[in-house]
Amino acid sequence: MSETSSLIIGLMSGTSLDGVDGVLADFAGGAIRTVSAAFTPFPPELRSELMALQAASDNELEREALAANGLARCYADCVHQLLPQAGGPVAAVAVHGQTIRHRPELGFTRQTNNPALLAELSGIDVIADFRSRDIAAGGQGAPLVPAFHAAAFGKPGGVRVVVNIGGIGNISILHGDGRVSGFDTGPGNVLMDLWIGRHLGKAYDEHGAWAASGTVHQPLLRALLDEPYFRQPAPKSTGRDLFHDGWLDARLQGYAALPPQDVMATLTRLTAVTIADAIRAAHAGIDTVHVCGGGAYNATLLRELGAALDGASVASTAALGIAPNRVEALAFAWLGHRFLQRQPGNLPAVTGARGPRILGALYPA
């Protein structure tokens, strides 16, 4: 480990399963600064294997180990894209891994990865496995980004709301007195991606154009909203363990005649209203929300979110200085920085853990 370097690389591959977002960050003097960013898409075979590993399947122990090796190679590619901009030693690579199971109620979460191989391929200390200590302390192990949102976006004396819309959605309410609340709201893009993939063979609905061509179907929306997770009190977190194709297909029974673009419009509305309801329940009278994650590029979704919040203004985190597609990777760089300082990374008020804990495990170079 380079004790003197303030540079840390953060790597995030999230529930959308599109690839690896990486940032090279500089934490010198207590600042949080992005030096450069990179994206490494997953090779198609790795993506489909990671997708298959989201549910129980044949010979999954061996297949998971092989996928972890493939992932580590993708992470190493992303690190090698970022290193030329470092201009000096990098203290550590902080890597999330790929969630393939998230079952805090059973006492585990699994972010597959081979951090030892990444340390070998990069020659840099690797910090991995950020969620399991929080779960060991009775927490959800997620969401972890609210602590980073508070550090990067908090506004003393005023309330800020940050919404991450990745595969899953999660909110952070940053209160003016320093208190932070937050939880996973439910589906972000995961159901929309699934639906457009099935009908148009596309990875996602570019700018929400397809959804905008359809009409929201109220009975289907009510059927989708009739999911106990939405009413469950925080702390709570979720993932593809709940929101997968089987979940959607069960609720679509009886709606086979609906035009697919109407289903898309309804799924987009579902994401917007579940996020808006969660924000309203956590704090009344919000006039602005800041969105990050890939959903920030879906104009229809942002319009729906503003409407569901009674006309509140919806901006991207770019307005606060960090591009929406960089926030999560930067959050993991920050969590790596906390680990190196032996500072807690979790917020017990968010995850429900018994107390603050240092998150992560070190694989020396």
Ligand X SMILES: CC(=O)N[C@H]1[C@@H]2OC[C@@H](O2)[C@@H](O)[C@@H]1O[C@H](C)C(=O)O
Residues whose CB is less than 8 angstroms from the CB of residue 246 and which lie 6 or more positions away in sequence, other chains included: none
Residues whose CB is less than 8 angstroms from the CB of residue 113 and which lie 6 or more positions away in sequence, other chains included: 68, 71, 72, 75, 95, 97, 98, 128, 129
Note whether 295 binds ligand ATP by CB under 6 A. yes
Distance between CA atoms of 73 and 217, rounded to whole angstroms? 44
Report the relative pairing of strands 98-103 and 108-112 from DSSP bridges.
Answer: antiparallel
Q: Is 14 assigned to a binding site? A: yes
Query: Taking the mean position of all CA atoms in its chain, how far away is CA 237?
Result: 11
Note whether 109 binds ligand X by CB under 6 A. yes
Residue 109's binding partner among ligand ATP, ligand X, none (Cβ under 5 to 8 angstroms by kind) is: ligand X
Distance between CA atoms of 77 and 38, rounded to whole angstroms? 10
Q: CB 354 → ligand ATP: shortest distance, Å?
A: 25
Residue 64's binding partner among ligand X, ligand ATP, none (Cβ under 5 to 8 angstroms by kind) is: none
Q: Is 294 assigned to a binding site? A: no
Distance between CA atoms of 150 and 241, rounded to whole angstroms? 28
Residues 8-47 that bind ligand X (CB under 6 A): 14-15
Residue 144's binding partner among ligand ATP, ligand X, none (Cβ under 5 to 8 angstroms by kind) is: ligand X
Q: Report which residue type is found at 247.
A: W
Q: Is 249 assigned to a binding site? A: no
Q: CB 3 → ligand ATP: shortest distance, Å?
A: 31
Residues whose CB is less than 8 angstroms from the CB of residue 202 and which lie 6 or more positions away in sequence, other chains included: 196
Residues 138-177 that bind ligand ATP (CB under 6 A): 164, 166-168
Q: Which is nearer to ligand ATP, 2 or 132 (CB)?
A: 132
Q: CB 207 → ligand ATP: shortest distance, Å?
A: 5
Q: Among the candidate windows 81-89, 167-175, 219-227, 318-326, which touches ligand X by CB under 6 A?
A: 167-175
Note whether 360 binds ligand ATP by CB under 6 A. no
Helix (H) or strand (E) holding 212: helix 209-212
Helix (H) or strand (E) holding 291: strand 288-292
Q: Is 18 assigned to a binding site? A: yes
Q: Which is nearer to ligand X, 96 or 217 (CB)?
A: 96
Residues 333-362 that bind ligand X (CB under 6 A): none
151, burial (CB in 10 Å: exposed 0-12, middle 13-18, buried 19+): middle
Among 22, 143, 295, 324, which residue sits at the site for ligand X (rule: CB under 6 A)? 143
Q: Among the candidate windows 8-16, 26-34, 146-154, 258-266, which touches ligand ATP by CB under 6 A?
A: 8-16
Q: Which is nearer to ligand X, 304 or 328 (CB)?
A: 328
Residue 204's binding partner among ligand X, ligand ATP, none (Cβ under 5 to 8 angstroms by kind) is: ligand ATP
Among 18, 21, 64, 184, which residue sits at the site for ligand X (rule: CB under 6 A)? 184
Query: Taking the mean position of all CA atoms in its chain, how far away is CA 289?
Result: 17
Residues 173-232 that bind ligand ATP (CB under 6 A): 188-189, 193, 204-208
Q: Is 1 helix (H, G, I), strand (E, B) or coil?
A: coil
Q: Is 57 helix (H, G, I), strand (E, B) or coil?
A: coil
Residue 297's binding partner among ligand X, ligand ATP, none (Cβ under 5 to 8 angstroms by kind) is: ligand ATP
92 close to 126: Cβ distance less than 8 angstroms: yes
Q: Among the candidate windows 11-19, 76-84, 264-272, 306-314, which touches ligand ATP by CB under 6 A?
A: 11-19
181 close to 234: Cβ distance less than 8 angstroms: yes
Angle between helices 245-252 and 190-200 (to 10 degrees): 70
Q: Is 21 assigned to a binding site? A: yes
Q: Which is nearer to ligand ATP, 22 or 208 (CB)?
A: 208
Q: CB 56 → ligand X: shortest distance, Å?
A: 17
Residues whose CB is less than 8 angstroms from the CB of residue 315 and which lie 6 or more positions away in sequence, other chains included: 288, 289, 290, 291
Q: Which is nearer to ligand ATP, 131 or 217 (CB)?
A: 131
Binding site, annotated residues for ATP? 14-21
Site residues (vs ligand X, CB under 6 A): 14-15, 99, 102, 109, 142-145, 166-168, 170, 184, 237, 239, 328
